[in-house]
Amino acid sequence: MKNIEPHPDSESRLWLEQTWGKIIGKVENMCESIGADFPYASYHGKYNREQADWWTNGFWPGLLWLVYRETKDERLKEAAALTEARMDLVLNDFFPLHHDVGFMWSLSSVAQFKLLGHEDSRRRAMTAASHLAGRFNPAGQFIRAWNQPERVGWAIIDCMMNLPLLYWASEETKDPRFRHIARLHADTTLREFLRPDGSTHHIVCFDPETGERQEALGGQGYDPDSAWSRGTAWAIYGMALSARYTGDRRYIDAAKRSAHFFLANLPDDGLPPWDFRAPWEEGMAMDSTASACAASGLLELSLLVPSSESRMYFDAAEKLIRKLDEQYTAWNDPHEEAILLFGTANSPRKTHVNVPIIYGDYFFAEAICKLRSIKDTFW
């Protein structure tokens, strides 16, 4: 009898399903200890908690919805919905919100509305989209970052990830104004942030009156000309998302350029330094969250390019997530709430360095979900 060789993807499929099972178990345990709260960074095995206005507060309900979508676990649904409702404190009381309302309400309210059709969630998401649109500076064609008076003309690469809230709002209301703002900001980012080699500035400052570009700042990167690794991941994923909503080829090309820069500079173990151009030093800050975000962005990109290129980006994402899974996850530590280790929030300010961070968990789980979904295309 002729031996039948196993399908080359069968081992990969097994790994995917086993890892997804671990994520489900981990998130169920996290839900027991975190509940309807705002986790951010983990120390000594436990996530700290933030206030209701903190920019990462959408990632925890987003993670819960990722798992609920498959398991229909009512405990996860309740915790996600209650966390979202707790953010009403800052959404409805004229609190000085910021540019990251996309992160906060896309992953919570838009997710719940798409899954369950809750009108309260739609209202919250539309309110947040209006806040974000209100931050647009027509002279410079950018969405303002932060609220400090001295930063009135600042924009940041991170905001590319908030634009889907505006694209969704236009689709939901049939009003193109939200989409126009998103595209104008994306065009400014393409022109003023991305370098020819695919790296990106973190902060670009404009004259808020004339819109004229003034300077770039290092921000969370090493210096103005450096390459903050999570900033590159924001560029990959953010440009791919704008391409998905608009079909604009320029955004696809930008995402590809940043993807190639990220992969070319990535260490063999998949764990990037906080800045690709920072001088190497013993014990320096690393950032697994950059790799998890980049992998999810690469998978988004794989759906936008011709079939001759698609497999390349898919395989790069799968390889990256497997490396993180093998070396930088907390599966074997029952005392650690988090999933992904070695994240860094802000190395220049020495804020949460080489610790688990909630958006690392979210992007890791999101990438696994995408891998499971897209895998069948190559089966």
Position 17 in a domain: no
| Strand 39-43 relative to strand 142-143, pairing | unpaired
pLDDT band at 300 (very low <50, low <70, confident <90, very high): very high
What pLDDT does residue 5 have? 42
Going from the C-alpha of 110 to that of each of 206, 260, 296, 306, 335, the distances in angstroms are 31, 31, 19, 29, 32
Each residue's pLDDT tens digit, 242-296 = 999 999 999 999 999 999 999 999 999 999 999 999 999 999 999 999 999 999 9
pTM value is 0.96
For 93-107, letters b (16+ CB in 10 Å) and e give eeeebbbbbbbbbbb
Position 303 in a domain: yes
Q: How far apart are CA 144 and CA 12, in angstroms?
A: 43
On the 0-12 / 13-18 / 19+ scale of CB atoms within 10 A, 13 is middle
CB 45 within 8 A of CB 336: yes
Position 292 in a domain: yes
Half-sphere exposure of 336 (CA within 13 A, CB side): 19
pLDDT band at 375 (very low <50, low <70, confident <90, very high): confident
Each residue's pLDDT tens digit, 156-183 = 999 999 999 999 999 999 999 999 999 9
Question: Sign of the C-alpha dihedral, residues 88, 89, 95, 101?
Answer: negative
CB 359 within 8 A of CB 289: yes
Position 173 in a domain: yes
- Which stretches of 196-248 are DSSP H helices? 229-246
Mean pLDDT of 18-39: 98
pLDDT band at 2 (very low <50, low <70, confident <90, very high): very low
On the 0-12 / 13-18 / 19+ scale of CB atoms within 10 A, 320 is buried
DSSP-derived secondary structure letter, 158: G
Q: Give the DSSP H or E segment for 206.
A: strand 203-206
The DSSP line for 26-46 is HHHHHHHHH-SS-EEEEETTE
Using the predicted structure, report yes or no on whether residue 379 has a pLDDT greater than 60: no
Position 19 in a domain: no
Number of domains the chain contains? 1
What pLDDT does residue 6 have? 42
What pLDDT does residue 378 have? 55
Collapsed DSSP state (helix, strand, coil) of residue 143: strand
Using the predicted structure, report yes or no on whether residue 7 has a pLDDT greater than 90: no
| CATH code (residue 288) | 1.50.10.10
What pLDDT does residue 10 have? 87
Which positions are catalytic?
Answer: 100, 158
Each residue's pLDDT tens digit, 138-157 = 999 999 999 999 999 999 99
pLDDT band at 94 (very low <50, low <70, confident <90, very high): low
Across all residues in the chain, what is the average pLDDT? 95
Position 55 in a domain: yes
What pLDDT does residue 8 have? 54
Position 3 in a domain: no
Domain that holds residue 182: 24-378
Position 16 in a domain: no
Using the predicted structure, report yes or no on whether residue 3 has a pLDDT greater than 90: no
